[in-house]
Amino acid sequence: MREITYAQAVNEGIREEMRRDPKVVIMGEDVGEYGGVFGVTRGLYEEFGGARVRDCPLNEAAIVGFGVGLAMMGRPTIAEIEFMDFVTFAMDAIVNQAAKLRYCWGDQINMPLVVRMPIAAQLGFGSQHSQSLEAWFMHIPGLRVAMPSNAYDAKGLIKSAIRDPNPVVFIENVSLYGAKTAVPEHEYEIPFGKADIKRAGRDVTVVATSSMVNIALKAAEELAAQGVDVEVIDPLTLAPLDIDTIVESVMKTGRLVVAHLAHKTGGIGAEIAQQVTERAFDYLDGPVVRVAAADVPVAASQTLEKAFYPTQQDIVKACLSFRG
């Protein structure tokens, strides 16, 4: 099977959906002739034209606000936020409008809006261009949240997101854009709310998201050499969250580590840990361990940035902590 990059997979998924449905549009900063600041929308303007691939002013509130209006009128819309950090300017449109309008209208309208936003973590971009804010959106009823960790999942999930009648926050990781994975040429979708067990194991369950999935898999290989068999689970979507698969794994292993790039306090790790504790407390052999970023703004300095983000060794240490 051919291998393509994460960025190519997202592009291909969008392209297929724009060919399938002539009503699909994409809008954002530099998404047109330039092809996106990270090259993800490259070639879409040439194929579909400026009416469907719209360059917008540097105004995230307007980009998502127009997207909400288009989606209400039956036009599936992909609104791109250039960096996840800039979504703060569009929070009213996402949280107070997109997430609630189907509810407020008694389900008389759909909201086929996908808000794409890349995390630029571990690239030295500093405190205003590196944040992982996924927990904000997981907290809001009415929003779906997808967070693929490889090219195969990215293509299948972006297609499902575009076809969904609900608003979707689609979180990509810039550090993964160049990573290649086997991706079939035929069309396929990946359903929301179904986690993927990336590696089966019997001793410790590690739930990881985004680029931490690959780091967790490397940690699992290292731990295997020490006789610790780690099961690695990628939730794929945070809303809906497939807590059943996670609980079933913990009931087997008795131990849980949750790893993510965001700050530890109030992160998705805390929510997953609590849900598992509520449902599988009697199966836990020890407290759930969270592996996450420090509760300080990330620095642009490479040395300080390395100290900020969780590492493979942090996951290894967390898994070994159950030995006592």
How much is the pLDDT for 124?
Answer: 78
What per-residue confidence (pLDDT) applies to 191? Answer: 97
If we measure between CA atoms, which residue out of 63, 31, 62 comes closest to residue 48? 31
**Could you give the C-alpha distances from 201 to 24, 39, 108, 210, 303, in angstroms and in order?**
42, 37, 46, 20, 34
List 29, 82, 129, 231, catalytic entry: 129
Is the pLDDT at 127 greater than 90? The verdict is no
Give residue 129's pLDDT.
Answer: 87
Helices (H) and strands (E) in the chain, counts: 12, 14
Q: Which residue has the tokens 């127009």?
A: 66
**263 in active site:** no
If you search the block for the tokens 């590492």, which residue do you land on?
A: 311
115/135 Cα distance (integer angstroms): 15
Has 278 been annotated as catalytic?
no
CA angle (199, 291, 234) in 5-degree steps: 30
In whole angstroms, give the CA distance from residue 5 to residue 279.
38
Question: Tell me, what's the pLDDT at 4?
Answer: 98
- Compute the C-alpha angle 49/53/56, nearest 5°: 130
Residue 324 has pLDDT above 80, yes or no: no
Given the residues 17, 60, 134, 231, the one annotated as active site: 60
Token digits of residue 285: 């052999």
Is residue 123 over pLDDT 90?
Answer: no
Domains and CATH numbers, the chain: 3-182 (3.40.50.970), 196-323 (3.40.50.920)
Interior/surface letters 289-320, b for 16+ CB within 10 angstroms, e for the rest:
bbbbbeeeebbeeeeebeebbbebebbbebbe
pLDDT of residue 261: 95
Mean pLDDT computed over 36-48: 96
Residues 80-106 have a mean pLDDT of 96
What's the pLDDT tens digit per position in 244-282?
A: 999 999 999 999 999 999 999 999 999 999 999 999 999
Each residue's pLDDT tens digit, 169-188: 999 999 999 999 999 999 99
Using the predicted structure, report yes or no on whether residue 128 has a pLDDT greater than 90: no
* Residue 156, token pair as written in the block: 């299948």
Locate tokens 């009503």: which residue?
23
Give the tokens for residue 284: 């836990």
Structure tokens at 238: 């945070």
Beta strands, E only, 15-167: 25-28, 53-55, 77-80, 113-119, 144-146
pLDDT at 9 over 90: yes
Is pLDDT at 68 greater than 80 in this prediction? yes
The chain-wide mean pLDDT, for the chain, equals: 96
